[in-house]
């Protein structure tokens, strides 16, 4: 019968050379059977490791495109030196070879190519920095125009962004802040108990959360939540050609799109930072009470003496800078989105990654510059 199981047998020719004899039905229906496929695949893989062998296809009763493609891939997209076949099989294999792209090995990169790639990345970074600087300069001009005519400012847009950026972010920031406070208190309590310094948990929690963790956690959460939303909103306007319509109508994009988001972010970030800090301190205080027996009354009484008020002002100042940077980065990548959905996804991802990275770098700069403030 022609519809039989495909076979693969390794034999030896009269002169002692290895020969692979194929038989049966090499069709898609037969090869799709799990047992047959695993057996044939393993057999072809073993034969491919033996180097030059003679292939005998004359015993194959049926060879369709799937079987021919499987053999062609096994041969490395080139005809073996020793091949025995029938005319019909030759036509099928030649057709597969004609319509199958040759396997191209990736070229090995040279040092010059690495140098060119590095230059390309540096040029792209320079392009982003120049565009961000231009966006910042336009923002300053828009702020001056707003101060000259505040009654004509986009206050409705500012209030809407304040609600979306600030009010809607309160639950998630409170949850994350509370959890971080609990975790920090539990971890530090184990170390402080070894030295009998249980009461110093107030100093450590207060300084670390108020000065660093509160503003940074809030900024990272807002960068991932609101920064991506800003990029997506402006990017969708690019895809739907709303930005082109604004340009045709003479509406300033910076004044109507960038300025409201920057103002809203600069106002919302310090408030969210305080909210996150309070939630983290509450979690740390409750955990310290449970683990170390440090009562909330002692916590409230010791915290003002342990942490100078200048740390709070420093945290608020950092939060304003974080907010402005997140808004500018989100608008920058949103305005650079091309009118296609792939560019929109790439721009949103790049916006979040860049905003979080910039927040961490700027926080490190603040830590170095203001190392003698409040400590």
Q: For the chain, what are the domain ranges?
A: 7-99, 126-369
- The SS3 assignment for 320 reads helix
Quick check: 91 and 119 in contact, CB under 8 A?
Answer: no
CA distance readout (Å), 233 to 37, 137, 228, 229, 257:
50, 22, 9, 6, 10
Instruction: State the average pLDDT over residues 348-361.
Output: 92
Q: How confident is the model at residue 176 (pLDDT cuts 50, 70, 90)?
A: very high
47 vs 24: CA distance, rounded Å: 18
Residue 18: predicted pLDDT: 81
* Angular region, 51: left φ>0, alpha ψ -120 to 50, beta rest: left
Residue 10: predicted pLDDT: 81
CATH number assigned to the domain covering 7-99: 3.30.750.24
Sheet holding 82-84, edge to edge: 7-12, 18-26, 54-63, 82-84
In this model, does residue 178 exceed pLDDT 90?
A: yes
Q: What is the dihedral of CA 237, 241, 246, 252, to 10 degrees?
A: 50
Instruction: State the average pLDDT over residues 28-39.
Output: 77
CA distance readout (Å), 292 to 166, 179, 186, 197, 267:
35, 18, 9, 10, 37
Residue 3: predicted pLDDT: 58
Percentage of the chain modeled with pLDDT above 90: 22
pLDDT tens profile 280-311:
999 988 888 888 777 888 888 888 888 888 88
Q: How confident is the model at residue 342 (pLDDT cuts 50, 70, 90)?
A: confident
CA 106 to chain centre: 26
The region of weakest confidence among 71-80, 211-220, 231-240 is 71-80
Residue 1: predicted pLDDT: 44
Q: How many C-beta neighbours within 10 Å does residue 311 have?
A: 19
Residues in the chain: 375
pLDDT tens profile 80-130:
878 888 888 888 888 888 777 665 556 677 788 888 888 888 988 898 889
Taking alpha carbons only, the member of 179, 186, 165 closest to residue 327 is 165
Quick check: 6 and 67 in contact, CB under 8 A?
Answer: yes
């Amino acid at each position: 019968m022609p519809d039989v199981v495909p076979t693969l047998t390794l034999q030896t020719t009269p002169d002692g050379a290895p020969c692979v004899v194929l038989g049966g039905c090499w069709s898609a229906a037969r090869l799709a059977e799990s047992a047959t496929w695993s057996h044939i695949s393993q057999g072809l893989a073993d034969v491919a490791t033996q180097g030059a062998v003679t292939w005998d296809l004359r015993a194959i009763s049926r060879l369709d495109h799937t079987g021919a493609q499987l053999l062609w891939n096994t041969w490395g997209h080139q005809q073996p030196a020793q091949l025995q076949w029938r005319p019909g099989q030759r036509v099928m294999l030649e057709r597969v070879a004609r319509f199958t792209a040759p396997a191209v090995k990736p070229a090995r990169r040279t040092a010059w190519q690495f140098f060119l790639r590095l230059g390309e990345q540096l040029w792209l970074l320079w392009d982003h920095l120049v565009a961000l600087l231009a966006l910042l300069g336009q923002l300053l001009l828009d702020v001056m125009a707003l101060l000259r005519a505040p009654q004509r400012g986009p206050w409705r847009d500012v209030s809407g962004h304040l609600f979306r950026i600030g009010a809607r972010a309160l639950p998630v920031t409170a949850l994350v802040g509370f959890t971080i406070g609990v975790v920090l208190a539990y971890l530090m309590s184990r170390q402080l108990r070894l030295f009998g310094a249980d009461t110093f948990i107030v100093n450590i929690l207060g300084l670390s959360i108020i000065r660093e963790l509160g503003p940074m956690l809030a900024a990272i959460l807002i960068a991932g939540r609101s920064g991506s939303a800003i990029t997506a909103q402006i990017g969708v306007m690019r895809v739907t050609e709303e930005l082109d319509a604004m340009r045709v109508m003479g509406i300033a994009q910076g004044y109507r799109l960038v300025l409201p988001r920057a103002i809203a972010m600069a106002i919302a970030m310090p408030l969210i930072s305080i909210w996150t800090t309070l939630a983290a301190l509450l979690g740390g205080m409750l955990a310290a009470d449970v683990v170390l027996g440090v009562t909330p009354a002692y916590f409230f009484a010791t915290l003002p003496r342990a942490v100078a008020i200048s740390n709070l002002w420093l945290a608020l100042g950092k939060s304003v800078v974080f907010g402005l940077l997140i808004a500018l980065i989100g608008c920058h990548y949103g305005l650079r989105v091309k009118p296609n959905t792939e560019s929109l996804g790439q721009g949103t991802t790049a916006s979040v990654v860049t905003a979080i990275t910039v927040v961490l770098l700027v926080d490190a700069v603040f830590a170095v510059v203001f190392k003698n403030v409040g400590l």
